[in-house]
Every structure is written in structure tokens, then in C-alpha cells.
Amino acid sequence: MSYVEFKDVYKRYHMGEVVISASDGVSFEIEKGEFAVIVGASGAGKTTVLNMLGGMDTCDEGQILVDGQDIAKFSKREMTKYRRHDVGFVFQFYNLVQNLTAKENVELATEICSDAMDAEEVLKQVGLGERINNFPAQLSGGEQQRVSIARALAKSPKLLLCDEPTGALDYNTGKTILKLLQDTCREKGMTVVVITHNQAIAPMADRVIKIKNSKVSRVTLNSDPVPVETIEW
Amino acid sequence: MKNKIVLNTLRSVSETKSRFIAIMAIIAIGCGFFAGIKSAAPDLKLSAAQYYDEQGLADIHIMSSLGFDGEDVDAVKDIGIADDIYAGYSADLFISGGAATGKIVKAYSYDPDSKINMPYLTEGRFPEKSNEIIVDARFINSPNLNIGDTVTLVTGDDRELSDILRQNEFVVVGKAKSPVYVAHERGNTSIGNGSINGWVLIPEENFAYEVYTDIYAEISALKGVDPFTDEYEKGVEETVDIFENLAASQVNHRKNAVLDEAYEEINDAKAELEDGKKELADAEKKVADGRQEIADNEKKIEDGKKEIADAEAEIADAKEQLADGEIEYNDGLRAKDNLNAVIEQLNGVIAEYETNAAESADVVEKLANELDKGDFFGVDDTLKQLLTGYMMIPAVYDDGTKAMSKQGLEQYIDGLKKNVSEISAELEAARTELDKAKQEIADGEAEIEKSKKELADGEKEIADAKQEIADGEAEITDAKADIAEAEKEIADAEQEVHDRVDDAEWYVFDRSYNPYYSNFEEDCARIDAIAAVFPIFFILVAALVCCTTMARMVEEQRTQIGTLKALGYSRFTIISQYILYAVAASIPGGFIGLLIGFNTLPRVIFVCYQSLYTMPYILVPFRWDYAVGCVLTACLCTGVSALYASRQELVSCPAQLMRPKPPKDGKRILLERITFIWKRMKFTAKVTFRNLFRYKARLLMTVIGIAGCTALLLTAFGLKNSISVIVDKQYGEVFLYDAIIALDSKADDAEYAAVSEECDKTGVVSEKTFVMQQSVDVMNAETAQNHDKDSSVGFEAYLLVPEDPDELGRFIDLHERVGKEKITLTDGVVIAEKLAKLLDVKVGDDIYFVPDVPVKVSAICENYTFNYVYMTPEAYAKSGIEDELRSNMILANMSDTSRNDEFSSDLIKNDAVLAVSYSSDGGSKFRDLVQSLSLIVIAVIAAAGALAFVVLFNLSNINITERTRELATIKVLGFYDGEVAAYVYRENVVSTLLGTLAGLVLGIFLEKFVIKSAEIDAVMFSPDIPPYCFIVAAAMTMAFALLVNITLYFKLKKIDMATSLKAIE
């Protein structure tokens, strides 16, 4: 059994009398320690998948198994617990609390997590050892995203979910962030799921899940992923 | 083009309903509260004015101790300043019958044609027949009467009811409120226990008085003038002067009339007295005559008695003579019989001798013996010789001798016979004479009997006469006493009428003499003072909240502003849409608030005041002046805040505006620099403080809003406490005495002693002391120097001088408020705290009763109601007050307060006693006021709650919407709902705490300010705010905050995590 498994997952939104299927029988698997990329055009339904995988939304039908647990059957509280302990979230717009320093932003996550890593340690790992006491406004976009990653990693999640992590960054910064993610995956054996519309980064992933029209259109296993540095877009 | 802007504004209204409603609500609360409170006093006054006007409350009420006759009334009419005049009657009487038996009422006359002082019917109808009455709808300290009750009015003292009323049994047909009695207080009287329980209105014709007791007048010049204005006051003053001038001349007329009438009676009485005296003199003369006669008669009787005694003696003599006569007569008879017997014997002898001579010797002897033996009357020796001769001689002698003897004997016998007949005749005569004498004696005796009887009768007559005279004398004595009494009575009556006339005066009262009339105005002024402070908060907070809300809106719509700008709309057009929005919210919000405020708050306050005042209704007009003012202010507030909020957006260029506004940068806060604290703080605490100081303006606003709420609550509770403890403190800690007996200072020492004795006799007074209390005008050094002789510039106070300063402590506890240090009355004066404040003097300063005579303040004592100055009799002598020191009050401690009524009515009968009042009564009146304050406190609590709620909710709401992304993110990070809430709440809690603390401090000042505004010169509210007020105010604020947080919790729960993924707008 795979570490992450979507089995015929359906998610429907009711817009008045019209029913829109955001996930129309989505099924895929991700193995532990894999760097997976879920790719698809805008509106293809990848965010819905992300929401469901991240424990931010429920599905209407099907199973979502993470480390053997069916999170689709979780109650609201179990869902929060799942998010709290098992999922690290990296946002497109970093979503740092502006009023907190880099370290404090990390602590915001570790504070509520029992087996969390030391905030300063994590920040050093993501290369921000010098800037732990800076406020987000004092950091560049890339640095902010690093804080965001550090925040996600600090609680040692089972799953690192990244929503367009480079979407708000320039090309080079985006690359370094992707590198950080890839390195984290490789070095820590962390299961990383990156959601993006950018097809170009697919080669760096172990597994590419392509979503189209609310369905998984193709899953590609990449036996030999390339380092980020070699990718260009 | 413009229309689209308007359309857009209207759309944005419907899109941002909650914000629009929030602005409307805060404006409504602000306007409503402000206008409502502010209009309360004017509404009350307006209602009172209308009530007075409709019921025709007299402007002037004139009374006179001599009453008024038609001429007086005409004189009042002739002045021509009165529109309407009613001359009527009134009397204080006891009720008997119905539930109010034994209570005292003031009975007024009712004339259906007069429109003055008409009662306001609450039930039933006006009287139509002479035995129908209207009664007070609410009796004080007494059960009420009901329609259909039959009541009897009695005097209860020595007044003759027939002098007052023609009939005294009435049927209650209506119940009413009287404009004369605005409060639950009916005034005082000289009968019963001294306080009136209610009034009744009796058809005029029932009154038997010869003169009117009251004149009421409505002044033309004051018609339609608001009675609460200076104009009215001035008008009334002038009117009073006019009437007083009239009184000065008119009272003499009445004096003369009374004197004339009185003297007519007095003279009649005097004439009668003279007649009486004359009669008495006659009677006395008669008695004297009678006495003389009796004396004469007594003498006569004495004489009579003597005569009788003489007569009796005569009769006794006569009887003796008679007895002697009888004996003589009987002797005569016997002698006659003897003679006859002798004769017979002689004859027998002779015969026998003739026939039987032989034996003659024997016979002679026998005869001689017999003769010797027999005591024959008239038988003498001659006979014996003869006989012997006759007998002895028979034979021896010749016949001749014999014959001669015989013859001699025979001659003798004949002599004897002749003798016998002579004796018989003599006897016969004696018999006749004796019988005559007997008859005479019997007659004499009868006559004596008769005389005796006559004498006895005479004596009885004399005794009767004497009795009669004694009676007559007693009568005369009585009559003399009567005459003396009558003379005294006449003298007294004369004195009395002179006294009455000398004291006679017209008393001209304006409305302020109606019980509690002026208090009403003072209470209105008090509301006004409070109204001046409280609502400003609401306006301020409303402005702040609007400002924040509008700022948030402008911020949210910066892209739109940018777009519009880019499209070429002018700045003014863009601003106008926000101003339009603000005004669109303000105008309806304002009017809704005004409608509610105008209608509710004055009514609430009216309801509060109904426990004190009897006004039957309240008018709550929509006050356009306030309304326009409020709404304009509201529009200005919101409009300006919209302008202020959009100022930055408007100067920015479109491109800048269309880019998302960078979130406010995080910054280090001051607290972080104090590392030893910061380090020790928990992470969450750090976050909280960071966030708190991130939006300083918002924090400030929250703190202000909360502080306002707390301050309002503290003020409300503090105010209530300040007022409510006055009674307990004044009558529990300062005034320890239970009763005051006011004395007539004109009474003499003996009368005082009598009152004192009477007090002791009742057994309910445990101790008492005499004091003098008088009203004085107190000045400080400055005013005393600049004293203007014609005006009173000082403060009115009661000067209290105890007869024995050492005793005072048991009745009035003089002590300092702070520290409770006891004050002993020695040199100088002790003055009430409020007076010291008013005069601005300290211990050691001088105060003046009379300019140029300083008196040193030796201490300042705790005191709440009225202003008192205490001094010793020695100090009084130096105070410069000219009046002679004369005690006029007794302070008494009672051992049994359950018999107060009885005690009062006993004591008030004493002429030297003017009134008896009890501390407990003074207290209970005040407690009503405090009761009424509770409702105001509730209203303030509601308002404060609304304020706290709106502020906290609005600001928290803005806080949350502004930080939706952040909150969504921490949700994604796996914060539980409770933790998310706590994340926000911690800030609310801190700001609430800060606000509460600030509010408690602010509240102290606000309370002091309100108290200062609400206080009148004669009262000091307790300036201390007890700890419980702080606790309650803080706790209630917290409770409001909690309520807001609870409602916010649901909003927090609804935040969609997906927001965290969205691009920043």
C-alpha cells in the first residue's frame, strides 16, 4: 500500500442548481519519500485535490489514505489534528504573519506541535540562520518562502504540501526554493507534494500526476529525476 | 455618469449590509442616547408646564389668618393683574369612614365654574351634588379611598365642625391628582400628628365659614409663560410684590372688620354682664332683707315663747286656785253634808227624844260622842250646849225649860238649816265660779297649745327662710364667680381678638411653596447635568467607530478607487460616494435612534420619577432642534471620517492603488527592549502583544470604547451609591437623634418645661437636649469684604447651637469624613464639609455671619444633607448675630419608635410645640428617590452595554476581516477552533482589560464630575466610591466583552481555510 492514496475521490460543488465536479473520480498514489508534482492548468482541479489532501476540505465520495489512515472519514477535529501534526503547508504567498519575526513565524507552528524541531535549527537548515529575528517585511520573497518552508518542516510532518511555491517568486529564487524542497525530500526522506501549473518542473519529480478536467489524466513515474539546476523554463 | 456612482454606492450598501448596519447602529445609539437623555429634562418640564396649565395651577395663593371677605376679594380683583381668581375655603380635618379612617386630609372647596387648581381625574367624575367629593388618588402613608366610599369628616379637636362644614358626610365619586401636590408629600398641619395624608375636594356650598380662607389667582401676564423660566420667576416675583403691597393696606380693612365684629359681641357680652351684676345686687339686697325679717321673726317668737311661759304659769296658778277651790268646795259640801247629817241627827235626836225620853241620856251621850267624833262643819260648842241642855235636862227641869231648850235647839237647827242653805248657795256660787275657772283654764291651755303650734310653725318658717337665704347666698357666690369668669372671658376674648388682629397678615405664596414644587425643577436640572456628560461619550465613540469602519471600507475598496481614478473620475466624485455612503447610513440611523431615544429615555426617566412625583403624563415631542443637530453632527462625524479615511487613497496615484496594499509591516514593540520581561513571556503572549501594538489606533479605540463603557458603569453605580448612602450616613452616622420637636420660640420657659415634662412622661424618649437652630447666611472673607448690603451673597446654612455642647455628641456625631476623627465643639465653629467646599474655606479660616465679625472654623465635619454650622453658646455670643440665643428645638432619642404617631399627636397638642418630625421619615422620602435612581442606573447599564458591544464587536469584526488570511493560515497550520479564537481573543482580553482599567480611572473623574453637576448646594453626595462599584463595573464590562467574543466565535469558525491560498487582493 502506498503512503498516499486517492481512490475514486469525488468532490462536487453546488452552484445554485448546477453541480460542478471539482474532482471527478480522482485516483493516484504517492510513495513515501517521493517528490511528487501534481500539475495541471488553472481550473483543472488541482487545488481541490490539494485541499482534500491537506485536510482543509472533505470529499464527497472515495477514500484518501495517508499513511494508512482514511482522512476522508475524519471528523473536523481529527482533520485539524491531521493538519497540525501530519501536514506541512507551503503557500504560494507564503502566508507569514507579518507581525512575527521569521523565528516567531516558525514557532507559531511548533508551539502547537509536540515533537517539533527547534525553530532556529530549522531556519538554519533552510539557510536563514542570520535572519531569524527579521520581520517578513524585512525579507525578500525567496527568504519569506524559506521561512514558510521552515515553518512547514519544523513540525516534522508526514507530508509537505506546496501550493505553487514559486508562483510569486522570480525565476532564480523559484529555482532555489525548488532546490530546497528537492533537497529536503532527498536528505530527510520527506514526502513532498508540489502543486503547480508549471509543466517545466515535472522532470525534477519522482512522480508527476497530471490533472485535467477534474480527473487524473496521466501519472508519470520518473525513474531518474533531474536536479533543479538543470531545468529551465 | 454621476448616477453610476450613486448606483455603485447603493450596491455597496447592499453588499456590505453588516457594515452599513453597524454604522447605522452606532449612529442610532449615539443619537438616540444623546437626544433621549438630553430631551428628558425638557420633556419633563414641558409636561409639567402643560399639566400645570391645563389644570390651571394657581400662580399665586394668598392666605390670611383673618380670612378674606368680599371686599378683600374685590380688592384683589381690582388690581387687575389676574386673569382668573378663585376665593375658596380649606380646612384640615380627620377622615372617618373608608380605609383612610383616622387620617388627616386637607379639604378644599370645589367650584365647578372655577378653572383654577382643577384636579386631574384618574377615576370617576366630578361632584354634581353637594354631598359628592373627589379625593386624592394617592394618600400618603395611608390606604387610599375608593369610589363609592362614604366618608365623614370630623375636626378631631375643639373646633366646632358646624363652623367649618354644613354637612360632613360625603360620597366619593372621583379620584384625582392635584397639580398643587406634584410629589408624594401633602404638607403639614397643626392637628393630629402634624402631617397631612391627602386632600379632598368638597363642593363649595358645604363650607360654613363666614369668610374665604384662600384666594387663588392666575396672573394674566404669566399666562402661557413657561413656569421654569426666569421670565416666569421674575413675573411671579413682581406679582408677589404687588400682592404684598395690597396686603399691607387691605389687611387693615379686615382687621377693622374683625375688631368691629368682635367688639359688637364683646359689648353685648359686657352689657349682659352688667345686667347680671345688677341682678346680683338686687338679689343680695333681698337676702339682706330676708335676714332682717328672720331676725325680727325670731325675736317675735322669743316673745311669744315668753308669753306662753307666762300664760302657762298663770294657768298653773289658776289650776292651783281651782284645786284649792275644789277642796274648799268639797269641804263646803262635806260641811253641808255634815250639817245636814247633824241636822238630821239632831232632828232624829229630837224626835227620838220626844218619843223615847228614857233613853235620851244614852242618845245624847251617843249623839254627843257622835258629835264629838264627827267633824261637823259648823257644829260648834253652842250646839253642844244646846244639845246637852236639851238632853240633859228632860226630867229634871220643867217643861218650860225644856220647851225652851227645845225651841233653842230648834232654832239652832233652823240656824243650821239656814246655814246649810247658805252654804249650799255659797257652794253653788263656788261651783259656778269653779266651773268657770276650769273652763277658763281649759281655754287658756288650748290657747297656749295654739300659740305653741303657731310658734313651731313660725320657727319652721324661719328655718325655711334661713335655708332660702343660704341658697340665695350660694347662688350669689356662684353668680359672682360666673361674673368673674365672664369678665375674664371677655378680657381674654378682647386680648385674643387683639392678638389675632395684631398678628394678622396676608401670606402671598407663589407656586414654589407647593410641596416639592421646586424640587421638581431641581431634579430636572440634575438630569440635565447628567445628560450633559453621558451622551458625549456616545457621540465620541460613535465617531471613532465610524471612522474606523469607513477607513476599513476605503481600504477594502482601494482597487476600485484606483480604477475609478484611472477611469478619470474626479477626486470629489470618488469621495462623494463614501460620504454618500456615510450619510446614507447616518441619516436613517440617526432618525431611528432619535425616534427611539425621544420616546424611550424620557419615559424611562418619567417612570423613575413617578415614584417621587405625581405628574400624570409625559409629553415626548419629536424635538426637531435636537434631531437636526444630532443628525447633522452624525453626518459630519461619519462624513469627515470617510474623508479622513480616504485621504491617503485619494492622493495616491491609480497604479499604486490598483496594486494590493502591502500588509502593515511587523515592528518591534517597546516591550521587546525590556528583554528580561520579553524573554520570560510565553510565545502566545508575545504574539498577542505584537498584534496589539500593530494596530495602535484600533487598540486605542477599543480601549476608549471599553473605558467609556466601564466609566459609565462605574459612574452609574457610583452615583447611585453616592446618593443612596447619604440617608444612611446622614441619619445613621451623623444625626443620631430619632426625633426633632420644633418649639415655638415665643413660648416661655414654663411652657418649655411643660413640653420637656410631657416628653419624659410618654416614656418613649430616652434622652433629649435643647438646641437652637436658625437659618443664617454664611460668607467667606472675600464675600464678606465685598458685601453688598442689599443682596445676599453668602450660602444658606443652618446654625445649630446646643444648650449644652457636651451633650450634643449623643444626638449629633460630629466627625471628619476621612478618618472619622471625632470633633468636640469648643471655640470657633464646626461647619459641614459641603459648606466648606462652597465657601472655599479650610480649618483655621474665618467665616462671617455678619460682615466684620469673623468666626474661626475649628473643624469641618462629615455631613450630607443641608449645610450646618455648629457652635457653642459662647461662640454664638461672639458671632455678631443680633438675635437673642433661644433654643427652639428639642433633639430626642427614642426608646420606642413604634409609638411615634401617638407621641406626635400627644405632643402637638401642646401650644409650644410646632411640629414633631422623625429621622426615619426623612430617610424614607430619600429612599424613594434612590429607588427611582435604580432605573436610571439600569438605563445607563443598558446604554453602556450597547456601547461596549457595538465598539468591541465592530472593531473585532474589522480586526477579523482584516486578518482573515492570517487566521485562515493558522487554521491550515492546524490550530483548533478554540486556539484560533484564543489567538484573537487574547488581544481582545488585553484591550478589554486595558480599557477597563482606564475606564475605572476615568470613571472616578466622570463620577466626580457628574456628582458635581448633579449636586445642589444643600446636598453633598458621598464622594467615596466603594470597592464593590469598581468590581461590578469591571465585571459587567468583562461580561459584555465575553458576550461579544462569543458571537465572534461563530464568525471565526466560518473562516474558510481556502482563503489562505488565494492571491492577495
**Hey, of B972, B1053, B1056, B1059, which one would you mutate to test binding to chain A, going by the most A CBs within 10 A of its CB?**
B972
- C-alpha B593/C-alpha B542 separation (Å) is 12
**Looking at beta carbons, which residues of chain A come within 8 Å of B696?**
none
3-state helix/strand/coil string of B703-732: HHHHHHHHHHHHHHHHHHHHHHHHHHHHHH
pLDDT of residue A213 exceeding 80, the answer is yes
pLDDT at B372: 61
Q: How many CB pairs under 8 A join A and B?
A: 94
The closest of A139, A9, A165, A158 to A72, measured between CA atoms, is A9
**Looking at beta carbons, which residues of chain B come within 8 Å of A84?**
973-976
Contact B974 A91 (CB under 8 A): no
**Looking at beta carbons, which residues of chain A come within 8 Å of B1063?**
92-93
Contact A99 B975 (CB under 8 A): no
Residue B454 forms contact with A (CB below 8 Å)? no
Contact A151 B664 (CB under 8 A): no
What ipTM does the predicted assembly reach?
Answer: 0.90
pLDDT at B764: 83
**Angle formed at CA B231 by CA B230 and CA B233, multiple of 5 degrees:** 60
**Looking at beta carbons, which residues of chain B come within 8 Å of A135?**
665-667
pLDDT at B107: 92
pLDDT at B125: 92
The closest of A185, B814, B72 to A194, measured between CA atoms, is A185
State the smallest CA–CA distance between residue B838 and chain A in angstroms: 55
State the smallest CA–CA distance between residue A77 and chain B in angstroms: 7
pLDDT < 70 stretches in chain B: 1-2, 349-350, 352-406, 533-535, 611, 657-667, 787-793, 922-936, 1063-1065
pLDDT tens for each residue of B409-424:
777 777 777 777 877 8
pLDDT at B361: 58
pLDDT at B397: 55
State the smallest CA–CA distance between residue B700 and chain A in angstroms: 18
pLDDT at B923: 64
Q: Find the helix or strand (DSSP H, E) in which B832 lies.
A: strand B829-832
Residue B979 forms contact with A (CB below 8 Å)? yes
Residue B1064 forms contact with A (CB below 8 Å)? yes
Contact A137 B976 (CB under 8 A): no
Which among B683, B691, B1063 has the least Cβ separation from residue A111? Answer: B683
The closest of B258, B1031, B364 to B717, measured between CA atoms, is B1031
CA-based nearest residue in chain A for residue B967: A97
State the smallest CA–CA distance between residue A138 and chain B in angstroms: 9
DSSP 8-class letter at B186: -
**Hey, of B1061, B1062, B1065, which one would you mutate to test binding to chain A, going by the most A CBs within 10 A of its CB?**
B1061
The residue ranges of every structural domain in chain A are 31-61+73-230
The CA-atom distances, in angstroms, between B392 and each of B355, B379, B930 are 15, 18, 166
pLDDT tens for each residue of A38-83:
998 887 888 888 888 888 888 888 899 998 889 888 888 888 888 8
The closest of B915, B903, B909, B902 to B759, measured between CA atoms, is B903
Residue A15 forms contact with B (CB below 8 Å)? no
Where does residue B770 fall: left (phi above 0), alpha (psi -120 to 50 degrees), or beta otherwise? beta
| pTM of the predicted structure, to 2 decimals | 0.66
Specify whether domain A31-61+73-230 bears CATH 3.40.50.300: yes
Q: Determine how many CB atoms are found less than 10 A away from the CB of residue B142.
A: 19
DSSP states of A135-182:
-GGGS-HHHHHHHHHHHHHHT--SEEEEESTTTTS-HHHHHHHHHHHH
For residue B201 the three cell numbers come to 375636594
pLDDT at A142: 85
Contact A95 B1058 (CB under 8 A): no
